[in-house]
Amino acid sequence: MLKYRKILLKLSGESLMGKKGFGIDSEVLTFFAGEIKTARDAGAQIGIVIGGGNIFRGLNAHTQGIERVTGDQMGMLATMINSLALQNACELQGVYTRLMSSIQMHEIAEPYIIRRAVRHLEKGRVVIFGAGTGHPYFSTDTAAALRAVEIGADCIMKGTRVDGVFDSDPEKNPDAIKYETISYIDVIRKDLKVMDMTAVSLCKENNLPLLVFNMDKQGNLLSILKGDNIGTVIHNEE
């Protein structure tokens, strides 16, 4: 029995690097696809937004002499490369998928249309949303929040390489304290780097829970779908 039946899974582009310093690790792709298949087979409707930071980060473009709008557009194209790779990995495991893009590129992806995306989900297809929002100055975190609201998701699940939200970076501070639950207001007040502030505000305004968990541990995605106490739940204050 699933607690969350329709979800938006947010993955970072960096998560696809695995132990590499750049690009895509095929073992990570295969692992993620397996976790997604298990969740889909359990009855979950799954939309996915994946970043492009393993290939190109628009925010860092200015250091290379690239102006912001162009850099963000390059970042959107990087998300499409990752989305195609994830789509291929899922389909190799027998998971029907659809890739939808905010930027028109008919040869490789469907244009993003809300009703069509919802219909794909109802038919049991995993829908990957590529190219962010299609606009510069908005991160893939914001794209994930926006798509989650639009498709009527029960929550956003942000897969990371740590076990939830901490008061400091647990990879640098072994004494970092993990939050089991925390409100959006406290995330903003404490300036916790969970998602960018635009995404956090969008989730808060639409009363959309955000669950942060370790995607690298096998079985975690299905467990959190069932409502197990894994990771950190961010919500509005009651």
- pLDDT tens for the chain, residues 1 to 238: 899 999 999 999 999 998 887 889 999 999 999 999 999 999 999 999 999 988 887 656 667 788 989 999 999 999 999 999 999 999 999 999 999 999 999 999 999 999 999 999 999 999 999 999 999 999 999 999 999 999 999 999 999 989 999 988 888 888 899 999 999 999 999 988 889 999 999 999 999 999 999 999 999 999 999 999 999 999 997 5
Q: What is the pLDDT of residue 237?
A: 74
Look at residue 60 in the predicted model and tell me its pLDDT.
67
* Collapsed DSSP state (helix, strand, coil) of residue 182: strand
CA–CA separation, 77 vs 120, rounded Å? Answer: 23
| pLDDT at residue 167 in the model | 87
* CATH placement of domain 6-235: 3.40.1160.10
Q: Which helix (H) or strand (E) holds 121?
A: helix 114-122
User: How open is the CA angle 235-237-238, to the nearest 5 degrees?
Assistant: 115
Give 110's strand partners.
100
Nearest Cα neighbor of 207 from 164, 145, 147 is 145
Task: Give me the residue label for tokens 């029907």.
Answer: 96
Residues in CB range of 122: below 8 A, 6 or more apart: 45
